[in-house]
Structure 1
Amino acid sequence: MRLGQTSIIHFVSRLLASALGFVATIAIARILGSDSLGIYYLIISMVSWLGIAVTMGVRGAVTKRISDSEDEAAYAIAGGTVSTGLFLVMSAVVLIFQQQVNDYIGYSAAEVVILFLFVNLAQSIVNAVLNGQHLVHISGALTPVRIGTRSIVQITALLAGVGITGLFIGYAVGYLLVAVVGLWIIIRNLTEISFPRRKHYRDLFSYAKYSWLGSLRSRAFNWVDIAVLGFFVSSSIIGVYTAAWNIAVFLMLFGGSLSQTLFPEMSSISAEDDPQSVAGLFETALAYAGLILIPGLVGGILLGEHLLRVYGDEFTQGAAVLSVLIVATLIQGYQRQFTTTLNAIDRPDIAFRINAIFIVANVILNVGLIPSYGIIGAAVATASSVAISLGVAYTYLSSLIDFSIPTGDIARQWTAAGVMGAAVYLSLWLESAYLNVSNNTALVLTLVTVGAAVYFLVLFGISPRFRTTVTDNLPSSRLLADR
């Protein structure tokens, strides 16, 4: 019950955060257009890639070692000092090659890249420590604060006529705010302050030397396609692609919350017992990994153009891309549970191999497909590479622990999504035949609400596991448990 409610809190927090970010992206797209949106996301893409060299797997190592040990402060300080040193080196590199950086982005952005690197580093280390302290719900709750602050500052700046500079200011303010708040919470939860010794750095390194590729894999899933697109298509087309990508990633939130919540629990159980002891939690993760993504895929296929028209008419050309990207996120939702479990049972070496396979496949496919097929090629490359890595991950994990795929639960989710799809399709037909609603945003909100209601009501009726999970995690159930 506690894990379920922690996952829900984390998910609702990220859902609120993404909704705020979604609204802000729409405002940016409508005020500045797809060209400025493309520049903004190219900068974030570059920061994401450079951030790998700044953290080098330190974030995952800090979370793992703190969750296993009582030397919280020592590991946190060790991780912070290592990352700060790497940040200084990377900042110098950006300044040395600032002309090349500016030419690639199409905007004078070298100083902005360094600023974004710093605020990302601060927030990343703070989140790693919070997750290691089993405060996943806190780190999740800080996400909407960050995105909400960022969005408010950005929209205010845009309305004031500041232009794209307002986007940079809002981004930095949002990250710095949650880093400070998170640091305060960490200090309050420390039992004692201890400084790191050589052992702590060695422990971090022993895990980070494998887990850094996990960070690279995450960046590859989110940014390889955009980075490669930067060499072949205009920033306007990149803006269309990132709009579709934002919708697809929105659907991944619950799976991400689930894996982040379960990781410290799996890690603790595995450290105290044998790896097989985490099989039950892993099967639970698989049962719910597609809870939002499966109906999201059905809805994305039916409502793709309507969803993208919310950004503006020029974005509707990305409808087919949106469907393929949702397929990619669905596969990723399951794959993430495999690599999370491997890391939790202290096998980052295997996760390293899986991530390496994904990255190589992703880069090769993107470089091979984008020149000929543009943004649809980028989407197909992402989906194909993550499918390859899922197959490899299944092979490796099944050789280490015994588990069963909850096919019954997954099939019920597809059944409920099918009923939902029929209801949405019928609603679309009725609207086009009799109503002709002129306000696209109102139509989208209505159809999404109808679809979600039908899906969850049907699933509640046909899935005993989902029904039990819902009833067990209602506030009234929590009160009874506490008594």
Structure 2
Amino acid sequence: MVYFGTQVGSTVAGFAATWYINNVLGAGVFGEFSTAVALMFWLNIPASALGESVKKRMSEGDAPGEYAAAGHLLTLAVHVALAGGLLAVAEQVNVFVGAPVAPYLAALVFARAVFDVTVSILRGEKQVGTSGGVKTFERVVRSGVHIGALFFLGVGIAGLVAGYAVSLLVATAAGLVAIEGRPAVPDRRHAVSILEYARFAWLGTLKTRAFAWTDVMVMRGLSLSIVGLAAVTKTQIGVYKVSWAVASVLALASIGIKETLFPELSDLGADDEYGRVKHFVTEGLTFSGVVAIPGLFGAVAVGDTILTIFGAEYAVGGTILVVLVGARLLAAYAGQLIGAINAIDRPDVAFRVNLAYVVANVSLNLALVALFGWYGAAAATVVSAGFSLLAAGWALSTLIGLPELPVGEVAKQVGAAAGMLLVVVALQRVVPGTLAWTLVVVGVGAAVYGALLFALSATVRRKSLSLLPT
């Protein structure tokens, strides 16, 4: 709950900044900023892979100080080189993004790398709530810097990228203070162990990046191609990423569950307690869609109007939003299964699952974006998410057997969401179609869903009551 609460705080801060940026600069500039961030996240793959490896090795309880130090040293070495490479091809980077941001982007790549490994160390110490707090702190600082820089200085995309880098460095300092253990001098064995796990974990990171950012990279890349393989504007990219941000809010519960369960599953996996591993995976699957399922129904009913929070031009993203919420829902379930595979120390199996996903995702994006533009990007995302779920389920079943699938609980969530949809549609017929009234309808719908689910599901009732203070 602590981790989930911090993620809610982070989301609120992020939404405030996203709303302000889009209202001040418009969807076109936000599309440029999204392209720069997409490039950063792809270049950040080595740091994320090293971070996953550090988290795993530290959670095993052996020589955590040595692994923490080795992780930081390896990350610094790799990303100093990457930042230098970016500066060497600055002109090409500026053309791809659509604005002169290469020096700031190089700083952002470096700052993101040291931030990610710091957060991974906290998670390796099982400080999941603290790691979420550090991420929330970074998001709040970033939102404050972005809003302040736009309001007082009138900066453009370069200022947004630079502000992002500053917020990461400030949050990294806070994260380093929160680390409980102390670094120790590592030897070759610790570095090799991290790299051994990372050589499989990097594809898991690539999978995450592919899910979140391949569509942006492909849309921008094909639109810049000499033969014009896709006609996707920077404005459409901006609307697309706003839709993705809204859809991502609905994945917060699943992400919090996965991050909280990983250290526990890792401990159980080390002791070969696979029965308990499967029990916890079932628990994770039960609650992964508890927010995303009603979100999908809600997006169908009022998604286009909700997007006008960011401006009238965003209403065109209503269909995109529905598809992306579906993708986030499928990915939420897949994430629980892949997390379990990694937790039982089978990164080789997770590697193969993620490789299949990345190939499918990139191939589908290249084909469907060329054919259908931004609708093709959304379709590629949801289809590849479904493929990932099936592949992860099959892989986990070959390792420890498939955990019990909470079909009944998911059906109850769908039933409650369907009841909510009926109420929302009925209310839409009698209230004005303005944004303000739509938000009221959304609030009523959420209350109806919560009440119906509480009535239908004994599991939800038990879990909800257990969270109340005694």
Structures share fold, TM-score greater than 0.5: yes
Q: Is the 8 A contact 1:308 1:316 kept in 2?
A: yes
Q: Is the 8 A contact 1:270 1:277 kept in 2?
A: no
Spell out, residue by residue over 1:378-404, the C-alpha distance to the aligned partner (whole angstroms, 9 max, x if none): 000011111112111111111222321
Question: What code does the residue aligned with 1:14 have?
Answer: Q
**Which of 205, 208, 213 in structure 2 is aligned with 1:215?**
205
Give the whole-Å Cα distance in 1 for the aligned partners of 2:253 and 2:115.
21
Spell out, residue by residue over 1:30-81, the C-alpha distance to the aligned partner (whole angstroms, 9 max, x if none): 100111101111100000001114x261111100000002411110110111
Runs of 5+ consecutive residues of structure 1 not aligned to the other structure: 1-7, 477-483
Give the whole-Å Cα distance in 1 for the aligned partners of 2:283 and 2:216.
33
Shift of 1:447: 2.2
Q: Is the 8 A contact 1:358 1:388 kept in 2?
A: yes
Q: Is the 8 A contact 1:153 1:169 kept in 2?
A: no
- SS in structure 1 at match of 2:373: helix
- SS in structure 2 at match of 1:371: helix
Spell out, residue by residue over 1:300-349, the C-alpha distance to the aligned partner (whole angstroms, 9 max, x if none): 11111111111111111111111011110010000000100000001111
Question: What code does the residue aligned with 2:91 have?
Answer: Q
Question: What code does the residue aligned with 1:463 have?
Answer: S
Question: Which residues of 2 match residues 5-154 of structure 1 at below 5 A?
Answer: 8-53=1-46, 55=47, 57-154=49-146
Shift of 1:260: 0.5
Q: Name the residue aligned to 1:377.
A: 376
RMSD: 1.3
TM-score (norm 1): 0.93
Give the whole-Å Cα distance in 1 for the aligned partners of 2:135 and 2:195.
28
TM-score (norm 2): 0.95
Q: Is the 8 A contact 1:154 1:169 kept in 2?
A: no
Give the whole-Å Cα distance in 2 for the aligned partners of 1:27 and 1:50.
27
Q: Is the 8 A contact 1:149 1:170 kept in 2?
A: no
Q: Is the 8 A contact 2:412 2:456 kept in 1?
A: yes
Give the whole-Å Cα distance in 1 for the aligned partners of 2:451 and 2:99.
49
Give the whole-Å Cα distance in 1 for the aligned partners of 2:53 and 2:74.
12
Q: Name the residue aligned to 1:226.
A: 216
Q: Name the residue aligned to 2:463.
A: 469
**Which of 454, 457, 466 in structure 2 is aligned with 1:460?**
454
Q: Name the residue aligned to 1:409.
A: 409
Cα distance change, pair 193–366 in 1 and its aligned pair in 2 (3 A): closer
Shift of 1:443: 2.5
Q: Name the residue aligned to 2:418.
A: 418
Shift of 1:170: 3.0
- SS in structure 2 at match of 1:430: coil
Shift of 1:193: 4.2
Give the whole-Å Cα distance in 1 for the aligned partners of 2:350 and 2:140.
33
Q: Does 1:194 align with 2:193?
A: no
Q: Is the 8 A contact 1:36 1:235 kept in 2?
A: yes
Q: Is the 8 A contact 1:52 1:215 kept in 2?
A: yes
Question: What code does the residue aligned with 2:149 have?
Answer: A
Q: Work out the number of aligned pairs and report it.
A: 459
Q: Name the residue aligned to 1:295.
A: 294
Question: What code does the residue aligned with 1:446 have?
Answer: V
Q: Is the 8 A contact 1:255 1:289 kept in 2?
A: yes
Q: Once superposed, which parts of structure 1, at least 4 consecutive aligned residues long, lie more than 4 Å away?
A: none
Q: Name the residue aligned to 1:4.
A: none
Q: Is the 8 A contact 1:269 1:278 kept in 2?
A: yes
Give the whole-Å Cα distance in 1 for the aligned partners of 2:175 and 2:48.
21
Question: What code does the residue aligned with 2:117 have?
Answer: I
Q: Name the residue aligned to 2:164.
A: 171
Spell out, residue by residue over 1:214-249, the C-alpha distance to the aligned partner (whole angstroms, 9 max, x if none): 110000000000001112222111111111111111
Shift of 1:429: 1.2
Give the whole-Å Cα distance in 2 for the aligned partners of 1:166 and 1:458.
47
Question: What code does the residue aligned with 1:167 have?
Answer: L
Give the whole-Å Cα distance in 1 for the aligned partners of 2:130 and 2:69.
20
Shift of 1:90: 0.7
Question: Which residues of 2 match residues 243-392 of structure 1 at below 5 A?
Answer: 243-392=242-391
Q: Is the 8 A contact 1:152 1:170 kept in 2?
A: no
Give the whole-Å Cα distance in 2 for the aligned partners of 1:344 and 1:180.
28
Give the whole-Å Cα distance in 2 for the aligned partners of 1:21 and 1:406.
33
- SS in structure 1 at match of 2:100: coil
Shift of 1:273: 3.1
Q: Name the residue aligned to 2:226.
A: none
Question: What code does the residue aligned with 2:399 have?
Answer: L
Spell out, residue by residue over 1:400-450, the C-alpha distance to the aligned partner (whole angstroms, 9 max, x if none): 22321011111111111111111111121111xxxx265x1x234322221
